[in-house]
A and B are shown apart, each in its own frame.
Chain A
Amino acid sequence: MKKIFIDPPNSMILFDIVERLGHEPLSTMAALQERVDNLEIDMPPMNVTLDDVISGLKYAGIEVPSGIRGRLATWGPHIDEADAAIVMAEAPYSFGCVGCERSNEMVKYLLRRRGIPVLWVEYPGDKEAAMRMLEKTKEFLGGLE
């Protein structure tokens, strides 16, 4: 079982595909769940704290807006520990979205910089394309073993 970072990191569909194919998806949901479950943190709605935003400095400098650093602090550690990643380009908001395009770009860059295997797929426009995407994903994840 490999740790797979998914992008958009809050995509339930990508999460489900990776899990069904026997791997561990690294997602925003998991990152936020850890924070929400921690009763000592009271920073609703997502329990992203000032310390998190400061720890985001590992990924982007102080001149970078706080919202980007907070986002990178949330899933940056997952990028660091991932064995591979699946990135879906041009996905609609309902598929998964993190709100900030600069953060999206930085996530893709961090993945490239790590040099781990990454599957780049386009959002499927119809059923056939979706089947092809699933096949490619299956093949990619299978090849990681």
Chain B
Amino acid sequence: MIKIAQLSCGTEYSSVQSEIEKAAFSVGGKMVYPDVGADDIDAAVKEFGFNPRSPQLKLMIARAVQLAKGVYDADAVFIATCFRCAEAALVRNELRRYIQEHTKLPVVTYSFTERMKSAQLLTRMEALVTIVSRKELLARERQTGLTAGLDSGSSTTKALVMKDNKIIGKAWMPSYDVVESATTVLNQALEQAGYKLKDLEAIGTTGYGRFTLGRHFDAKLVQEELTVNSKGAVWLADRQKGEATILDIGGMDNKAITVRDGVPDNFTMGGVCAGASGRFLEMTANRLKIDVTELGKLAEKGDWRNAKMNSYCSIFGIQDLVTSLGEGKAFEDVAAAACHSVAEQVYEQQLQEIDIRRPIIQVGGTSLISGLVKEVGSVLGEMPIVPPDSQYIGAVGGALLSSGFLM
């Protein structure tokens, strides 16, 4: 069992503690709670330097200090506090930073509501467990043999075939039935590569449909998208060594992952609001009566300052868009405003929860929307790297990591 230390406030009174434990257990983890004596708390708070009023936040700090000093042994850290609590949000983020500065433990932070269910935590917990239990596999930098990766995403399904560290076939399509979509794109990728399904030595699956596809294709690797995408991103960007931040603005949720030598050590995965996702850009493109693939180029020609669009909600965002169009604003400016709005929200809602490390590698389907990449660069003050085939990160990661299972 992988021991995940829980530093939290409010979970037991929010009816979510059992959901946290359920999520950890289902991926081979176990929540543990660093022992702290009552006398240790004040000393720990003094050492940490931030003195919150709430005693449970003081306890969180004392537990973190126990981990940092190596008094308590754990494999990973899960830091969670109530959504909308300002004091807890400050402590949560500073503790995450403190743990990263003082230990090598992977950390994930989360702010929960009473509606949180174990399924929402599953990917995060699975990633924590994977980082600890599959260190050797994640250190893999070269793909070997003939393998394929399948990425069953919320918007699109991707398949990619690799042979001896080279991509030899790839295909994608909008997701519908999980197995049918994957079968279609895998057949197309295999045809491009000149191979048959039976020739494949291993398959790796990731994304929302990974378990279904794993069973259907008898995959050697079935793994969450946080670690798989990280590997795919650093392989594609040729940044396997050193530090980087991977930014994946997805159709349904966004991921920001910091990596060291290609292995994630902190990540945030958001999906609270569709206004900050690729789905909003699809809705914008539909309203502008253009294909989403044309949105980026259109946005590049515009100036976001000319059209108001600063809502956190996709529905209100579309209302802003309709209002702007009604006022006769140029399509280019409206497209730019939509891209800027998504970039700004990702920055405000997610990138505040990690310490950005340079370079920033932007991946996923939305990284093909050049206007969005431009706006992300403008918000972050540095243009992200968009590697070739950036929409195939999950499939590349699947093909690369699954080759680690070959004899």
Give A residues with C-beta under 8 Å from B. Answer: 42-46, 48-50, 52-54, 63-71, 74, 92-94, 97-102
Given known contacts A64-B84, A100-B54, A100-B56, is B10 in contact with A45 (CB within 8 Å)?
no
Given known contacts A54-B114, A101-B53, A102-B54, is B14 in contact with A67 (CB within 8 Å)?
yes
Name 30 A/B residue pairs within 8 A (Cβ), A-sorted. A42-B18, A43-B18, A44-B18, A46-B12, A46-B13, A48-B13, A48-B14, A50-B114, A65-B82, A65-B85, A66-B13, A66-B14, A66-B16, A66-B82, A66-B112, A67-B81, A69-B114, A70-B12, A70-B15, A74-B13, A94-B38, A99-B9, A99-B13, A100-B9, A100-B10, A100-B13, A100-B55, A101-B52, A102-B85, A102-B87
Is A63 a contact of B55 with CB atoms below 8 Å?
Answer: no
Is B10 a contact of A67 with CB atoms below 8 Å?
Answer: yes
Is A68 a contact of B12 with CB atoms below 8 Å?
Answer: no
Q: Which residues of A contact B18 (CB under 8 A)?
A: 42-44
Q: Is B115 an interface residue (CB 8 A)?
A: yes
Give B residues with C-beta under 8 Å from A. Answer: 9-18, 38, 41, 52-56, 58-59, 81-85, 87-88, 112-115
The smallest C-beta distance from B222 to any residue of chain A, in angstroms, reads 30
CA of A71 to CA of B13 in the docked complex: distance in angstroms? Answer: 6
- The A/B interface has a contact count, at CB < 8 Å, of 93
CA of A93 to CA of B62 in the docked complex: distance in angstroms? Answer: 13
CA of A46 to CA of B13 in the docked complex: distance in angstroms? Answer: 8
CA of A45 to CA of B20 in the docked complex: distance in angstroms? Answer: 12
Residue in B closest to A50 when the chains form the complex, CB atoms? B15
Residue in B closest to A49 when the chains form the complex, CB atoms? B15
Given known contacts A65-B10, A65-B84, A66-B10, is B17 in contact with A101 (CB within 8 Å)?
no
Q: Which residues of B contact A74 (CB under 8 A)?
A: 13
Q: Which residues of A contact B114 (CB under 8 A)?
A: 50, 53-54, 66, 69-70
Is B82 a contact of A68 with CB atoms below 8 Å?
Answer: yes
The smallest C-beta distance from A101 to any residue of chain B, in angstroms, reads 4
Q: Which residues of B contact A101 (CB under 8 A)?
A: 52-55, 87
Is B53 a contact of A67 with CB atoms below 8 Å?
Answer: no
CA of A44 to CA of B21 in the docked complex: distance in angstroms? Answer: 10
